[in-house]
Every structure is written in structure tokens, then in C-alpha cells.
């Protein structure tokens, strides 16, 4: 957590509203492997990180609510009687969505004020949106004593994203952000919404993140399209979700679906297996095997699921050229954002320098390198 961000958000709140706030830190996440498997009831392997959203929140005595986003220096006032989504892409929708979903389950919140700021680069694929949603729901839960469990809170955050932001996301981001554990990654079963935790403390290797600093448009509609392809094929197979499918069963309906959709569904089935294999490789300390799974995951995302982009493919290509890297892949929903790289600690600087230089030469834009620590999930700060 960033202490100057914390001080800044808290001071803004006190100077605007003249009372002490409840403070919340809500982290972003990385995902080691298991991409686009969450909404297929499958497995994912994320971890919360030390970059996130800090929110200051408390009741308001006025007859409306005020939100202030420190990064954008934007103020937004709204009434609890009239909560509807604003135009697509507005940050307000994450906030309004959470309030609306709390109201939907019959809990009531009074007027409140909120100030928030963050240090997760938007569009990096590290889930600033889930971090914001979780900070709001946990803050409101505390201020209005709603008595919500963490499980209820992440479902509210997810519904906010579905109904107010328009992305039919799975549960990975909200779960990882809420339930993260310091130094650990979570193998999450998205059907039961329960996880096993794994200490990430490789002696000689680390995960390095490289941000392409691009986010191509259409990513939200492409995301929802992929999800509906998966659901319709699950229906054809007469199973609840693709998590229950095998490649053999899929082959039996090959002539009933387009070759493109066949490959997409095959990717999901294979990626789900890779997530489980990755957890085994980690338990056995077999980082070579883990690295190969990362490369295979990227290959599937690029060629079968088709959610990658030139910039991500280029960075993964750079990883393959560097002897210090065991594996790499794009991370998150796709069409931009970060790659995650499993790299030898003593070769990490060499790789980062090489990849940055080559990226700049290729695209005439800089990439960004992040060092993250695995962190505790959404929590109140004293």
C-alpha cells in the first residue's frame, strides 16, 4: 500500500467533508494462469497485489451523495433515489452499480461521501475495476453496518459490473481482490468459489509484469461475445458449463459449430487443465513445467481464443528470445494490458532492458515494468 496515496485520499476527505472517514485498501490482482476460465465455472490462479484503490468513506448529513476521484480531480453528486448507469466507460458506473446492487438485495444505505484514488494503471489488466467495486462495498458495509459477508460483497461487485458497467465478467477479479493473502496465490475453483492458497516464494525466479500501455477498443464487446459462445456450446453439450466438457465430447459436435468457435471452446477446456497442472507444477517446484504452461496459455489466447494483440504477442516473443525467461503470457481479459513473465532473478534486469528497448523500437511507444508484492485482500485501514 502506498502511504502518500493514503494520506492524500484521507486529507481530501477531511478537508471536503470535515469528518473522519472509514479508510479501505482494495488491491488489484495478477493472474498466473487460467484466463477466461472463470465464467466457465473453471479454475484460475490469481493473487492480490500491493497496487490498488484507497477509499475514504462516511455518512453524509446532506440529502445527496458526493464522490470525488482524486486521480481525475472529478466530483460527482448523485441521489440514492435515482441510481442508473451513466454513459459507457464512466468511472461512476462502478460506484453506482455497487449501490444499486446493495439496494437490490434489500439492504439500505443512507447518503454518503466517498473520496478515492489508486495506483493500478487503468487498462493494465490488473483489475482496477474490481478493486474499486470492492472498496466501495466494503466501505459501505462498514459505515452502514450492513452485515454482508465477503462472499456476498464480491457477488455484489460482480453484479455491479454486469448490470451497470456492461461486462459479463466472471468472479476471479473480485475474489482475488477481496480474499488475497500476503505472499500467496489462490487456486480458485470458480464453481464453488473456494480456493487453496500457495506460497509464492521462488528461490531463484520471480514474476515480472510488463505493460504494453495499450488497450484496444471493443474489448468489452469481444469479452461478452466470447462468454456467450462458451455458454451456447455448453448448452449444446447439455452440461452446466464448459468446465464439465472434455475435448472428446467437444469433438462429437464439431460439425455443429463454426471452426472458430470450436477452437475457442477447445482453448477453454485446455486452459482449465493448464491451471490445474500449474498448481501441481508449483507444488513440485517444477518451474520449467510452469513456464511451458504459461507459453502454451498465451498461444491459446492468441491463436484459439483470439483475445491477444500485436503488442502482447511481441512481448511474449521477446520473452522467448531471452534465456532467463521460463515462460510468459498475456494477462487478464486481453487486447492490451500486461504480460506476466516467469524470469530468473539474476537475469530479470537484462530481460526487462532488452524487452523495453525492442518494444520501443517496434511500436515507437514505451512499455512499463512493474514490480509487485502479493498482498492481503480488501481491508479496513486504521
- In the complex, the residues that contact ligand GAF under the rule CB under 6 A are 35-36, 38-39, 127, 169-170, 172-173, 332-333
Distance in angstroms (rounded) separating the CA atoms of residues 86 and 83: 9
Closer of 169 and 293 to ligand GAF (Cβ): 169
Using alpha carbons only, give the angle 128, 132, 134 rounded to the nearest 5 degrees: 115
Those residues with Cβ within 8 angstroms of residue 139's Cβ, 6 or more apart along the chain or in another chain: 22, 24, 55, 57, 114
Catalytic residue among 38, 41, 50, 173: 173
CB of 266: closest distance to ligand GAF in angstroms?
16
For ligand GAF, give the closer residue by CB, 177 or 213: 177
Q: How far is the CB of 36 from ligand GAF (least distance, A)?
A: 5
Length reported for the chain = 382
Q: For residues 134 and 77, is the Cβ–Cβ distance under 8 A? A: no
Q: By the 8 A CB rule, do 68 and 12 touch?
A: yes
Cell of 27: 488491491
**Nearest residue (CB) to ligand GAF, 21 versus 123:** 123
Whole-number Å distance between alpha carbons of 123 and 179: 22
Give the nearer residue to ligand GAF in terms of CB position, either 229 or 348. Answer: 229
Question: In the annotation, is 346 catalytic?
Answer: no
Please spell the DSSP secondary structure of 343-381, one letter per residue.
EEGGGHHHHHHHHHHHHHHHHSS--EEE---B---SEEE
Q: Which residues of 148-180 are buried (b: 16+ CB within 10 A; e: fewer)?
A: bebebbbbbbbbbbeebbbbbbbbbbbbbbbbb
Of 69 and 268, CB closest to ligand GAF: 268
Q: How far is the CB of 160 from ligand GAF (least distance, A)?
A: 12
d(CA 278, CA 66): 45
Residues 210 and 337: their CA atoms lie apart, in Å, by 8
C-alpha cell at 226: 466470447
- C-alpha cell belonging to residue 256: 455443429
Which residue number, 60 or 90, has a Cβ lying nearer to ligand GAF? Answer: 90
Q: How far is the CB of 193 from ligand GAF (least distance, A)?
A: 13
Instruction: Extract the C-alpha cell encoding 138.
Output: 466494503
In Å, how far are 35, 80, 226 from 233, measured between CA atoms? 18, 40, 11
Least separation in angstroms between CB 112 and ligand GAF: 26
Shortest Å distance, C-beta 134 to ligand GAF: 13
Between residues 324 and 329, which has the closer beta carbon with respect to ligand GAF? 329
- Residues acting as catalytic residues: 173
Amino acid at each position: 500500500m502506498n502511504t502518500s496515496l493514503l494520506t492524500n485520499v484521507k486529507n481530501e476527505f477531511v478537508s471536503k467533508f470535515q469528518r473522519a472517514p472509514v479508510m479501505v485498501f482494495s488491491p488489484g490482482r495478477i493472474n498466473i494462469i487460467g484466463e477466461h476460465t472463470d465464467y466457465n465455472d473453471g479454475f484460475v490462479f490469481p493473487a492480490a497485489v500491493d497496487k490498488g484503490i484507497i477509499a475514504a468513506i462516511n455518512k453524509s448529513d446532506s440529502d445527496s451523495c458526493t464522490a470525488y476521484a482524486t486521480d481525475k480531480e472529478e466530483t460527482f453528486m448523485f441521489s440514492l433515489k435515482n441510481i442508473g448507469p451513466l454513459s459507457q466507460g464512466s468511472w461512476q458506473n462502478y460506484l453506482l452499480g455497487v449501490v444499486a446492487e446493495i439496494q437490490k438485495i434489500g439492504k439500505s444505505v443512507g447518503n454518503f461521501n466517498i473520496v478515492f484514488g489508486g495506483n493500478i494503471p487503468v487498462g493494465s489488466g490488473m483489475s482496477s475495476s474490481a478493486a474499486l467495486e470492492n472498496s466501495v462495498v466494503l466501505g459501505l458495509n462498514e459505515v452502514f453496518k450492513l452485515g454482508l459477508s465477503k462472499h456476498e460483497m464480491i457477488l455484489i461487485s460482480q453484479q455491479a459490473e454486469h448490470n451497470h458497467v456492461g461486462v459479463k465478467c466472471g468472479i476471479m477479479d473480485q475474489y482475488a481482490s477481496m480474499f488475497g493473502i500476503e505472499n500467496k496465490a489462490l487456486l480458485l475453483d470458480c464453481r464453488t468459489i473456494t480456493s487453496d492458497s500457495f506460497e509464492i516464494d521462488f528461490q531463484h525466479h520471480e514474476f515480472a509484469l510488463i505493460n504494453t500501455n495499450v488497450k484496444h477498443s471493443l474489448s468489452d464487446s469481444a469479452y461478452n461475445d466470447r462468454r456467450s459462445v462458451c455458454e451456447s456450446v455448453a448448452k449444446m453439450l447439455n452440461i452446466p458449463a464448459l468446465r464439465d466438457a472434455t475435448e472428446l465430447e467437444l469433438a462429437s459436435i464439431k460439425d455443429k459449430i463454426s471452426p472458430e468457435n470450436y477452437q475457442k471452446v477447445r482453448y477453454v477446456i485446455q486452459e482449465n487443465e493448464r491451471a490445474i497442472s500449474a498448481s501441481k507444477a508449483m507444488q513440485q517446484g517444477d518451474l520449467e513445467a510452469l513456464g511451458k504452461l504459461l507459453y502454451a496459455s498465451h498461444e491459446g489466447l492468441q491463436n484459439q481464443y483470439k483475445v491477444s494483440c500485436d503488442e502482447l504477442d511481441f512481448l511474449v516473443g521477446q520473452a522467448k528470445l531471452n534465456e532467463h525467461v521460463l515462460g510468459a503470457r498475456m494477462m487478464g481479459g486481453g487486447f492490451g494490458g500486461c504480460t506476466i513473465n516467469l524470469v530468473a532473478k539474476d537475469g530479470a534486469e537484462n530481460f526487462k532492458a532488452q524487452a523495453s528497448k525492442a518494444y520501443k523500437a517496434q511500436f515507437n511507444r514505451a512499455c512499463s515494468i512493474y514490480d509487485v508484492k502479493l498482498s492481503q485482500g480488501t481491508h479496513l485501514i486504521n
